[in-house]
Structure 1
Amino acid sequence: KAVVEEDRYEVFVTYSMQLSDKLSLQSALTEEYSKIFQDRENRTNERSFRYLKPRVEVRYDLTSTDQFRLLVERTASQLNLNEFVASRNIDDELINFGNPNLEPETKWSYSLNYERRFSNDGGSIELRAQYEDISEYIEKILIGIDDSGTGNIGDGWRKNFEVNLNTRFGFIGVPSAVLTFSYLYEDSETTDPFTTVKRPLRFSTPDYFRVNFRHDLEGANFSYGFNAHRRSGRLRQDVSLYEITDFDAHLGEAFIEYNVTPNVRLRLAGSHFLSEDARVFHKTFYDGHIANGDIKRIDVQDWTIDPDYVFSVQATF
């Protein structure tokens, strides 16, 4: 039996200033204190952490509809206390050994945003570029000879570019129809603790598309819509496992709604009904340490979600 407890405190101060009619400054300085106590079979361990987390954001209004934002901040992650004790992954037949020396991950983040709001409440478009400098990155590490657990592997970085578009179809005479589209490009790098080879961060997804659509039929008390997404493959690696996951295009949900009265709404929604929320796991298992290159077996696993349909009645009183 193991007991893991954490106490966390924060002290902060904020400061804002209007530098000019178009330029403003918002800043904050936070100091975080935390203490972790562990007790396993009457063997105790107590550690304390202290992090200074500044945050500075500058906003510049180029016009009444165009704005630039520059943000610099430092953050510290919250630890998953389950990582301090051992657990077993039944699917991959791997044991995740607990790590009593796990430390929070810290990150310096630098981002530049540009936002343009369309006229007549027609929506907006936002562009964001971000770079993250990561210290004490949390990943799987070698414990013993051929076992692993969660630990800190050193430095890493992540950069991404994101586009978010929200628009009404007023330009074609349908202002009650709204489309939201987003695209995220991501690149990252760290040094793999098992092979010492440079690779992307765990579960990094280079490309991710998302679409949401909703149309409220004016005068008919009727609405319909859907959401969907598509992402590129991602990597997961362990001491004796190399895994690539491929994703199919995914229609998350489609729905129709009818307002019987202003206070009563009927809704029918279906999820995964096109059987396209599928993913394929390509798993290579190694006999012992992955760096030795002795392949034990290769598994290809198909994973799908059965469709589900929900009819609901929503009422307010």
Structure 2
Amino acid sequence: MISIVVPTLGRPSLAVLLDTLAGQVGELPDPEILLVDDRRESTGELSVPGALATYTKVLTGPGTGPAAARNLGWRAARSPWIVFLDDDVVPAADWCRRLLADLVVGDLVGGVQGGVRVPLPAHRRPTDWERVTAGLAEGDWITADMAYRRAALADAGGFDERFPRAYREDAELAHRVRRAGWELVRGGRSVTHPVRPESRWVSLRTQRGNADDALLRRLYGPYWRTDLRLPPGRRHRHVTVTASGALALVATGLRVATGGAPRTALGALATAGALGWLAGTAEFARARIAPGPRTPGEVATMLATSAVIPPLAVIHWLRGWWHSRGECPGAGS
């Protein structure tokens, strides 16, 4: 028996996922599908294809994020293997058949990840948001398609519900599963993860994830990225750019408010801060613009957001650092 857990916000992509599963789920022995409706305010029942009705149960999630929704799902599941799928992926036509093969593993293997393919435009360079989404294809142990033994989830305590976003919660769980003595491997099945439409300002909203990074720093110390197998970030550069900008603003304000000899020193500080901010912002913008389509709209968006992201990232990090004071390692409730 295999259980498939799908936390969802009721997005249209869910229908595509369920239709794809409906055509092949019969290949699984005694399958079980648990949809966790995690919408804060229900706008109607989730639609389930008739071919899946026998296998599907809809659970009402707590509305506090995917970590809590997945915990609700796997704890309600009846199978020794739990497969987590995101509601915006499309399983390959042979996904169920390959899933069965993937789960024929040794007793020490606690999880098997499926491959993730992110289709990008063939006629132009990808935008910044498209490249961010494409990074999922290189991620380790992401729950876009991740199967875990129930025993491994129980040993690790499940997902840590202190992580409220679809960000880092899967990497953090995988770290605790490995720490509990289980092995994680990659399988042969795959899903497609289309790039969903987003606002041109989506990069500003995603900076909230810096608060989760601060929590990870609290829990796992200065080498948390290495321990959790996460790519290097730009936080130190963001701090430098933000500090330079703040120095320029403060020195300029003091220069205006004071007179006499100190004005020369304050002017030098203001100039140094402004140059540091300008150089850092320009480097960040260039790094985001160069690999992109370089259309006027994309360039304008990158310039504007590259100026705002560093201080916004620092603010979210500090907010997360403050809120996570006194936190200790361990799974959520």
- The TM-score with structure 2 as length reference comes to 0.23
> Which structure shows the bigger proportion of residues in strand conformation?
1
Higher Rg:
1
More contact order relative to length (CA 8 Å, sep ≥ 6): 2
* Normalised TM-score (structure 1): 0.24
Q: Which has the higher helix share?
A: 2
